[in-house]
Amino acid sequence: MNTHQDSRRRAPRLSREEKDSRSKARAAVRAAIKTVANAERAVRLQGTGYQSDHTTPAGMRPHGWTESSITAFLGQPDRLATNPHYKCGSAMRLYLTSRVLAAQGSDAFKSWLQKGKQRRKGAEQAVTTKRKKLMKYVHDLNIVVPLVQDVQTHAIESYNTWNSGSAKYASGTDSAAFLERITVNFIRHTTTDYEFELSEIFGKVGIETAREELRDKIYDEIAEVYPYLASECSRQSYTRSCAA
């Protein structure tokens, strides 16, 4: 008889409690090793802005990285990982943080980053200049609102022409609020340069603010020429500013 085999057969089996104890001990060792590794990594990456040994392009963006700079300075990723957010999405690109930090510390990257900041600053200044220029244009506009005799009748006719073929119809018996609203709209769109000036500022930097300023200038002038419409002008101005 093989004494070794006989010895193995006679070896006592571990109880469930002993197995559980050994399993917990192994888990505790793994946890301790992981804790030490995490602590070492935290010390190693302290002050770098990175949290792990690998980082994604999204994690690099706060440090000034772009897709083009990642390609230029890092090339291919060091690892590909399954996308945790989208199962069918493309694999996540992972780059060694040590390699990323080395690239960030290079003179070439620092020079590229500085030039990028200068370009952005120049672009921001250009936008600010364009916005100021547009606001000055609107501010300097000479808005003329003519005094039209029986303007409400003209407003009613214009409203009915615009809505011909529909169930909408205006008459002098409608509520004062409704008639004042369509009258102000008629004056603004038909008797002033509002539509022309809108086309002049369309698509320019600061259009939203400039358009609101243009409307307010016209509302103010309408209220000056037609005092009984001042409340409606204020209402429309407030309503539009809230919707903006």
| pLDDT digit string, tens, across residues 147-175 | 999 999 999 999 999 998 888 889 999 99
State how many domains the chain has.
2
| Residues 132 and 234 occupy one common structural domain | yes
Q: How far are the Cα atoms of 26, 28, 93, 130 from residue 100, in angstroms, in the given order?
A: 35, 33, 13, 38
| Residues 139 and 232 occupy one common structural domain | yes
Residue 19 forms part of a structural domain: no
Nearest to 145 by CA among 187, 94, 204, 100: 187
Which residues, at least 6 apart from 89, have a Cβ–Cβ distance to it below 8 Å? Answer: 83
| Residues 161 and 222 occupy one common structural domain | yes
Sign of the alpha-carbon dihedral angle for 189, 190, 193, 197 = positive
**Mapping DSSP to helix (H, G, I), strand (E, B) and coil, where does residue 148 land?**
coil
Kindly state the tokens that stand for 51. 């949290």
| Residues 55 and 132 occupy one common structural domain | no
Domain residues for the domain of 236 are 126-243
| Residues 147 and 101 occupy one common structural domain | no
Burial code of 150-187, b = ≥16 C-beta within 10 A, e = fewer?
ebbebbbebbeeeeeeeeeebeeeeeeeebbbbbbbbb
| Residues 140 and 63 occupy one common structural domain | no
| Residues 164 and 65 occupy one common structural domain | no
Residue 39 forms part of a structural domain: no
| Residues 87 and 195 occupy one common structural domain | no
Kindly state the tokens that stand for 56. 């994604």
| Residues 142 and 229 occupy one common structural domain | yes
A 10 A CB-CB count for 106 gives: 11
| Residues 145 and 77 occupy one common structural domain | no
Residue 36 forms part of a structural domain: no
Residue 44 forms part of a structural domain: no
Q: Where are the beta strands (DSSP E) in the chain?
A: 54-55, 79-81, 92-96
Could you tell me if 173 and 98 are in contact, meaning their C-beta atoms sit under 8 angstroms apart? no
First vs last C-alpha separation in the chain: 95
pLDDT of residue 33: 60
Kindly state the tokens that stand for 133. 């220029």
Q: Which ranges of the chain have pLDDT less than 50? A: 1
| Residues 97 and 189 occupy one common structural domain | no
Residue 120 forms part of a structural domain: no
Residue 94 DSSP code: E
pLDDT of residue 15: 74
Residue 8 forms part of a structural domain: no
Residue 18 forms part of a structural domain: no
**Which segments of 140-206 does DSSP mark as H helices, in order?**
151-162, 176-190, 194-201
Residue 195 forms part of a structural domain: yes
| CB < 8 Å & 24+ apart, contacts of 23-32 | none
| Residues 67 and 146 occupy one common structural domain | no
